[in-house]
Structure 1
């Protein structure tokens, strides 16, 4: 049984319980509980000001929580435990007139990790050819890749990235996303914060959605597109049942409290149904969308709705 328990602890990389951070009267993070398992690429999705960066700051020991706690690998976070975590939080400090190689040598010294790791991380982030060029000649995407290389210097178990593609051009964004997938394929657990649903869908396996410091959703990424809309319709028409069944967007219908619940096929919405009824000479006395797709809900949250 102890072995089973140990394995359970091992598969949980990060466990957050009721984590709260208050700045004066503002609750930046409100009673957050989350679990990140080994091998996941876990996205923290939310608009700016939703508490993502504050949460990452607490996890890295840069910000003190007001309440609640968390464990890394089933242990209370200590300096030793945090050595297993690589993070790119703010723009890291690199010297503009030193080469990429020299900057990493300095970082390796500060982190007390072997200089022998440098060629490997440079190859991984595809900067090996440019290692002797001065940092100031690097594009924004290259600078971000060097920051990720620096975070990987001590071969951490977990990599934390805060808005990894912020400010990059489309090519730079694509490169970083490919790199994240490559690092994940090597078996590392990745936690990344983003305000882009697209980014989370493309690189993450699981994600949580934060709104004003509160968790509003957590689950696997592949659930996002699922869940069709259900439209509730009422109209004074004898043959409403048949007309609704004749609509191309109807997947199924049921009757509830004098109105019809129409489950829509993917890509069809209430406005399409309304138009169809109108063309058939039926004016709906009641027509509301009951369930939105997750994607739509998230886009509204991200837009600050």
Structure 2
């Protein structure tokens, strides 16, 4: 798979503060790559360096195996901060101005408005748009030059649940169109729902990177409820049990490698126990994220 972005020992110091420290990453074509980390972890500084807004202290990076020249940056669309639009102009007029500044083909405007689902509101003034609509217009502006890569910094920040859902579905549509997306976010659940890969930064250091699908792999945890006395003893006696914990009226069983929930269910059935609730629990990205930070 083609490497879209290669980062080598990228570092940024602000005086004695090391905002980004020897960052090494590779992002492949077609990935939706999430950059996670608490405030001050270096996510926004990293994106700023990648877009030429912030000068690196040391290290290097390349887009499409090329130096980050102006021609290369034309392949990249970005929403790094709150975009500046004219409040008394319509969404359409604002995009026409942006297309003129970016020297983009104005015929792209109708396409991006349709993509972000603003075609019906294109003639309304920008000041009448909701926060979610303003964010979608910003993404439309970033897509005017039909970039290969789209960079989004906290794309759902400040949005209500409906706005978050709209941006999430928009990101999926853009990814389905074959674009590579790099986004920074603190909303772990949203990253788990839209990203294919993620990296975790802590105080400027990369502490983890990998596929989102790997979250929850490893030991399987099964939640069990059954109306039977001494259920705890039966669960401990199962040969596939590593540990048993009582939590909110149910038992949480950590399984040994190679054992699954169906094995536990069969064991209980053979003991004459019918579980009213037996569910495999997948570790959330949030739980893994907190574990990674605590270990770093």
Q: Structure 1 length normalisation: TM-score? A: 0.77
Measured after TM superposition, the shift of residue 195 of structure 1 is: 1.0
2:159 aligned with 1:168:
yes
Measured after TM superposition, the shift of residue 226 of structure 1 is: 1.9
1:128 to 119, 131, 146: 119
2:213 aligned with 1:222:
yes
How many matched pairs? 251
Instruction: Give the secondary structure class of the aligned counterpart of 1:247.
Output: helix
What CA deviation, in whole Å up to 9, does each residue of 1:263-291 have, x standing for no partner? 9239xxxxxxxxxxxxxxxxxxxxxxxxx
What CA deviation, in whole Å up to 9, does each residue of 1:29-62 have, x standing for no partner? 0110000000000000111111000000000000
2:240 aligned with 1:251:
yes
1:69 to 49, 60, 79: 60
Q: Is the 8 A contact 1:229 1:293 kept in 2?
A: no
Q: Is the 8 A contact 1:30 1:214 kept in 2?
A: yes
2:184 aligned with 1:193:
yes
Q: Give the match for residue 153 of structure 1.
A: 144
1:52 to 35, 38, 43: 43
Gaps of 5+ in 1: 1-7, 231-242, 254-262, 267-291
Q: Give the match for residue 265 of structure 1.
A: 255
Within 2, Cα distance between the matches of 1:246 and 1:114?
Answer: 66
Within 2, Cα distance between the matches of 1:143 and 1:304?
Answer: 39
Q: Structure 2 length normalisation: TM-score? A: 0.79
CA gap of 1:229–1:186, structure 2 versus 1, over 3 A, is closer
CA gap of 1:248–1:46, structure 2 versus 1, over 3 A, is farther
Q: Give the match for residue 33 of structure 2.
A: 42
2:103 aligned with 1:115:
no
Instruction: Give the secondary structure class of the aligned counterpart of 1:20.
Output: strand
Gaps of 5+ in 2: 222-231, 243-252, 257-282
What CA deviation, in whole Å up to 9, does each residue of 1:226-246 have, x standing for no partner? 23389xxxxxxxxxxxx9884
2:82 aligned with 1:91:
yes
CA gap of 1:147–1:293, structure 2 versus 1, over 3 A, is closer
Measured after TM superposition, the shift of residue 250 of structure 1 is: 6.7
